[in-house]
């Protein structure tokens, strides 16, 4: 599932068959797919799909509406132009398009192939409201790079998702492919043609390809070969440079997982987005043996490294769940009529929790860092509906009111796992935790052995302690908010308020203000967060829209300027801010003072017992 990275401040070419067609029926012959990256026309790529012979009068062709891990309906059919269904004489067959992603082709018995043009999604991200999340999107930049999330290019025929695909790609000689797809063995390599094989449609969608000028590095972590490939428009980021921190991190992940991890190859495809008119959805999407990551070019090297560690560690842990441990809904994913599983608390929650826990267990971060991350999650989770059932949200995540709560899977979803981990440790005298549970589940299930969605929790109760049912009933199935202090207390921790310095408009990297793209990029004070004493004492309130600061009319550019200036303010500096609150315009005025913020922290209890300390060690150090 995807991991969103939040940034601070936020010619009709007919591919001739050549040799006489062997008349294999559609269920027995591979779908030969051609993609032409050499002759890009109007920023579009020509694709043709040549299946075997159909024995039905109507053949339905689909492009996915959605793909696993995105939890959004993206209608990739929108990006398809000028589809033609051709018979064996090259004549066009009639069809109807019943929705954006579905073509019903008449006279199916005569269908030889379909051809169409594909637009990329990155180009339209600024124009459409519900843009495709960039790591699951597509990019076509003739001669420069191609981000081939193949579900955006290649479709499937109804009833034939389990037939193999042969994907033949014509490509510029100086661009190289990185992908986990199997390459077809050729007698002779051709610098302008790659041929890949996929055993079924799912495999097509599960193995994105990045075409770019060579910028990659490979390293071995025990039995996994990892390749990092980068498209960086100005060459700012090189794979050799980013390899070092990635290698260290993935070695630690592998240590943490032990025998649970079985992947032999892993490809990290990093697309670095230029400042303007490029991909805007930063983060990554997981696949069985690869991930596509999209991050902005303006990140300093150090921030890029940090972002890669956070994002890729999360994606790599997805090799445990849902890629390995998952329900039937995921194993037999319907790309145009998806049924959602109830278990986002595990698919995303456990994954995100592990992405933090392994760092403390393996010594990449210290206890303080770990507590701060968990505290941030407690804090962030409060901006979602804390009484919403996680299983219900998960099952209905594509619809309202559940959809806006999806992102809580990274916050409360991780915390559910933290509490479950502490509980399991407590009841097993420190022996067993969530990692143990995932090992047991992956022994029982696995890549080709999905579980029954409504039986998972019963299974977990059966494998652990009867009392675990109450936890699931209350906080995963039910909507009872979690008393985090109670769980932290079991391991001798508590929460305490501390005063910390902040910036005037930023706390660390996190701004107190935000931009509203639905209101002409207005800058406003964020709601539902604790403000610093500078904003509080001036009387600012969440939702206030900045009109002017010290006479400067405020837009995004001006706000950046004011933030830059604020680094030079002294406590005596005077400020006049005009803000709009509802229909009212207010003037907020005064000395800027020294900005401080009350921060709630997780800290060790003074009177923690030896038992609690021991339990904490087993939790944090495994």
**Within positions 500 to 559, which residues make up the interface with Zn ion, using CB under 5 A?**
none
Contacting range for Zn ion; rule: CB under 5 A; set: 1-9, 36-44, 436-444, 479-487: 1-9
Contacting range for Zn ion; rule: CB under 5 A; set: 133-141, 257-265, 340-348, 525-533: 340-348
Q: Does 1 bind Zn ion (CB under 5 A)?
A: yes
Which of 3, 287 has the CB closer to Zn ion? 3
Phi, psi of 402 (to 5 degrees): -75, -40
Write the DSSP string, 495-547: EEEEEEE--SSEETTEESEEEEGGGTTEEEEPSSSPPPHHHHHHT--TTPEEE
Q: Least CB distance from residue 458 to Zn ion, whole Å?
A: 25
* CA neighbor of 137 nearest in space, from 145, 25, 541: 145
411: tokens are: 């916050």
Q: How far apart are CA 209 and CA 338, in angstroms?
A: 24
Q: Does 285 bind Zn ion (CB under 5 A)?
A: no
Residue nearest to Zn ion (CB): 1
Phi, psi of 510 (to 5 degrees): -95, 120
Q: How far apart are CA 10 and CA 539, in angstroms?
A: 24
Q: Least CB distance from residue 286 to Zn ion, whole Å?
A: 6
Cβ neighbours for 462, distance < 8 A, ≥ 6 positions apart: none
597: tokens are: 């913020």
Bridge partners, residue 165, by sequence: 31, 198
* CA neighbor of 64 nearest in space, from 339, 267, 337, 249: 337
Question: 3-state SS of 324-385?
Answer: CCCEHHHHCCCCCCCCCCCCHHHHHHHHHHHHHHHHHHCCCCCHHHHHHHHHHHHHHHCCCC
Which of 2, 578 has the CB closer to Zn ion? 2
Q: Least CB distance from residue 220 to Zn ion, whole Å?
A: 25
What is the number of helices (H) and of strands (E) in the chain? 16, 32
Cβ neighbours for 367, distance < 8 A, ≥ 6 positions apart: 360, 620
Q: Least CB distance from residue 356 to Zn ion, whole Å?
A: 13
Which of 110, 417 has the CB closer to Zn ion? 417
Q: Least CB distance from residue 314 to Zn ion, whole Å?
A: 6
**Within positions 2 to 61, which residues make up the interface with Zn ion, using CB under 5 A?**
3
Q: Least CB distance from residue 70 to Zn ion, whole Å?
A: 10
Count of chain residues binding Zn ion (CB under 5 A): 3
**Within positions 341 to 360, which residues make up the interface with Zn ion, using CB under 5 A?**
348
Phi, psi of 282 (to 5 degrees): -90, 140
Q: How far apart are CA 241 and CA 217, in angstroms?
A: 9
Which of 284, 554 has the CB closer to Zn ion? 284
Which of 45, 284 has the CB closer to Zn ion? 284
Q: Does 373 bind Zn ion (CB under 5 A)?
A: no
Which of 329, 348 has the CB closer to Zn ion? 348
Cβ neighbours for 429, distance < 8 A, ≥ 6 positions apart: none
Helix pair angle (412-427, 434-444), 10° resolution: 90
Which of 3, 151 has the CB closer to Zn ion? 3
Q: Least CB distance from residue 3 to Zn ion, whole Å?
A: 5
Which of 32, 456 has the CB closer to Zn ion? 456
Which of 381, 612 has the CB closer to Zn ion? 381
Is residue 564 within 8 A of residue 573, CB to CB? The reply is: no
Which of 323, 488 has the CB closer to Zn ion? 323
Phi, psi of 179 (to 5 degrees): -170, 155
Positive/negative CA dihedral, 82, 271, 410, 452: positive
Which of 68, 155 has the CB closer to Zn ion? 68
Q: How far apart are CA 162 and CA 214, in angstroms?
A: 33
Q: Least CB distance from residue 307 to Zn ion, whole Å?
A: 15
Which of 115, 394 has the CB closer to Zn ion? 394
Q: Least CB distance from residue 411 to Zn ion, whole Å?
A: 13
Q: Least CB distance from residue 352 to Zn ion, whole Å?
A: 7
Interaction site with Zn ion (CB under 5 A): 1, 3, 348
């Amino acid at each position: 599932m995807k991991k969103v990275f939040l940034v601070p401040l936020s010619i009709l070419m007919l591919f001739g068959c050549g040799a006489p067609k062997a008349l294999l029926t559609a269920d027995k012959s591979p779908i030969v797919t051609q993609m032409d990256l050499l002759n890009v026309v109007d920023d579009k790529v020509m694709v043709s799909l040549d299946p075997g012979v159909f024995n039905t009068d109507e053949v339905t062709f689909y492009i996915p509406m959605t793909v696993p891990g995105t939890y959004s309906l993206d209608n990739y059919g929108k990006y398809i132009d000028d589809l033609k269904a051709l018979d064996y004489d090259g004549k066009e067959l009639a069809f109807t398009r019943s929705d954006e992603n579905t073509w019903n082709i008449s006279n199916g018995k005569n269908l030889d192939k379909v051809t169409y043009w594909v637009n990329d999604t990155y180009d339209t991200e600024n124009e459409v409201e519900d843009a495709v999340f960039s790591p699951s999107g597509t990019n076509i930049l003739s001669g420069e790079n191609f981000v081939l999330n193949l579900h955006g290019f290649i479709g499937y025929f109804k009833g034939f998702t389990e037939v193999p695909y042969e994907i033949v790609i014509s490509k510029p000689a100086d661009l190289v492919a990185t992908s986990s797809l199997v390459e077809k063995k050729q007698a002779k390599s051709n610098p302008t043609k790659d041929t890949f094989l996929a055993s079924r449609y799912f495999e097509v969608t599960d193995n994105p390809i990045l075409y770019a000028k060579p910028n990659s590095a490979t390293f071995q972590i025990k039995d996994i070969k990892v390749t990092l490939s980068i498209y960086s428009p100005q060459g700012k980021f090189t794979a050799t440079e980013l390899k070092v921190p990635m290698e260290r991190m993935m070695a630690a992940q592998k240590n943490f997982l032990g025998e649970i991890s079985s992947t032999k190859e892993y490809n990290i495809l990093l697309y670095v987005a230029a400042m303007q008119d490029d991909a805007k959805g930063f983060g990554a999407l997981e696949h069985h043996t690869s991930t596509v990551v999209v991050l902005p070019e303006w990140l300093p090297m150090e921030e890029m490294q940090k972002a890669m560690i956070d994002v890729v560690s999360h994606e790599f842990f997805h090799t445990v769940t849902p890629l390995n441990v998952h329900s039937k809904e995921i194993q037999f994913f319907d790309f145009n009529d998806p049924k959602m599983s109830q278990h986002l608390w595990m698919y995303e929650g456990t994954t995100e929790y592990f992405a933090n826990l392994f760092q403390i267990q393996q010594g990449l971060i210290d206890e303080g860092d770990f507590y701060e991350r968990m505290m941030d999650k407690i804090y962030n989770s409060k901006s979602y509906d804390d009484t919403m059932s996680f299983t219900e949200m998960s099952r209905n995540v594509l619809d309202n009111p559940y959809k806006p709560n999806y992102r809580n899977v990274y916050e409360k979803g991780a915390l559910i796992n933290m509490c479950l981990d502490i509980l399991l440790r407590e009841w097993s005298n420190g022996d067993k935790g969530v990692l143990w549970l995932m090992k047991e589940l992956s022994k029982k299930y696995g890549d080709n052995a999905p579980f029954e969605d409504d039986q998972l929790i019963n299974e977990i109760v059966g494998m652990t302690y009867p009392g675990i049912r109450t936890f699931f009933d209350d906080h995963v199935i039910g909507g009872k908010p979690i008393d985090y202090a109670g769980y932290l207390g079991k391991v001798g921790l508590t929460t305490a308020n501390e005063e910390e310095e902040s910036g005037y408009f930023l706390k660390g990297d996190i701004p107190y203000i935000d931009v509203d793209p639905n209101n002409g990029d207005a800058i406003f004070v964020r709601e539902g967060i604790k403000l610093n004493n500078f904003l509080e004492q001036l009387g600012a309130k969440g939702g206030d829209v900045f009109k002017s600061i010290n006479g400067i009319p405020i837009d995004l550019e001006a706000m950046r300027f004011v933030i830059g200036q604020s680094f030079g303010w002294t406590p005596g500096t005077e400020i006049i801010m005009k803000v709009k609150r509802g229909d009212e315009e207010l003037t907020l005025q005064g000395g800027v003072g020294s900005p401080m913020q009350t921060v709630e922290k997780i800290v060790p209890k003074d009177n923690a017992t030896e038992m609690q300390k021991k339990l904490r060690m087993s939790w944090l150090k495994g």
